[in-house]
Amino acid sequence: MLKIGVPSKGRLMEKTFDWFGARGVTMRQSGAEREYAGIVEGVDDVELVMLSAGEIPRELSAGRIHLGVTGSDLVREKLADWNRQVTEAALLGFGHADLIIAVPTAWVDVDTLDDLDAVAAQFRRHHGHRLRIATKYHRLVREFLTDRGVADYSLVDSQGATEGTVKNLTAEAVADITSSGETLRANHLKILSDALIHSSQAVLFLSHQADWGPSARRGLAGLAATLGLPLQLVPTDGPHQV
């Protein structure tokens, strides 16, 4: 049986159901809202698994699901070597958001990463500690800033309202996902002109680690035919050769 993980709530779940439904595959929750199973109609040998969007990268990596719909930002953040563990089988065209770095609007002379680098060095000299950037995306932000030579900063974890950390004096800047920028502006923050870390959207990912036995292969072939997509298995060095 082919197992496909989809978000269990919110707009991402609704958009996922709509995307598959428009292509002949009906998906819906089965029974209670908190139940982690769903119903798939329109294709055989496919089982629906309801998960949080943040859990799906882990389940793909562990091989417990064959396919999964989640944000490209989450896969890149949670899986260090993501392109060795999963394949982007289809870009779904919704859930768009940008991972960016933003600083206080009061920093009128800070518009680029070079400006941020200079301010960070000055901040450390004056305060004796590194400039703090609040984020949920430690891996992506660190790799981005390292590639661009920004050094005098520290990342502080923020799993809540990241945009409010500057106002609350727990950080000097933020790195977060934004769609319209309205929340940033409401918190008196501006996006650096060259600090787009990743443009995210919902993606259908295929796991390299899953057990691609005959039933899963039949499910994939049937799903590919119904969706009209070239869903293909790729060679892998993982435990389950496909």
| Residue 126 in domain | yes
pLDDT tens figures, 119-129:
999 999 999 99
Indicate if 186 and 126 belong to the same structural domain.
Answer: yes
Q: What is the pLDDT of residue 159?
A: 78
Enter the pTM of the model: 0.90
Three-class secondary structure assignment of the chain: CEEEEEECCHHHHHHHHHHHHCCCCEEEECCCCCCCEEEEECCCCEEEEEECCCCHHHHHHHCCCCEEEEEHHHHHHHCCCHHHHEEEEEECCCCCEEEEEEEECCCCCCCCHHHHHHHHHHHHHHHCCCEEEEECCHHHHHHHHHHCCCCCEEEEECCCCHHHCCCCCCCCEEEEEECCCHHHHHCCEEEEEEEEEEEECEEEEEECCCCCCHHHHHHHHHHHHHHCCCCCCCCCCCCCCC
Indicate if 54 and 132 belong to the same structural domain.
Answer: no
pLDDT at 50 over 80: yes
Indicate if 196 and 102 belong to the same structural domain.
Answer: yes
| Residue 196 in domain | yes
Indicate if 110 and 183 belong to the same structural domain.
Answer: yes
| Residue 140 in domain | yes
The number of domains in the chain is 2
- Residue 223's domain comprises 2-95+201-227
| Residue 242 in domain | no
User: At 30, is the pLDDT very low, low, confident or very high (cuts 50, 70, 90)?
Assistant: confident
Indicate if 83 and 108 belong to the same structural domain.
Answer: no
Q: What is the pLDDT of residue 127?
A: 92
pLDDT tens figures, 202-222:
999 999 999 999 999 999 999
| Residue 148 in domain | yes
Q: What is the CATH number of the domain that holds 49?
A: 3.40.190.10
pLDDT tens figures, 72-95:
999 999 999 999 999 999 999 999
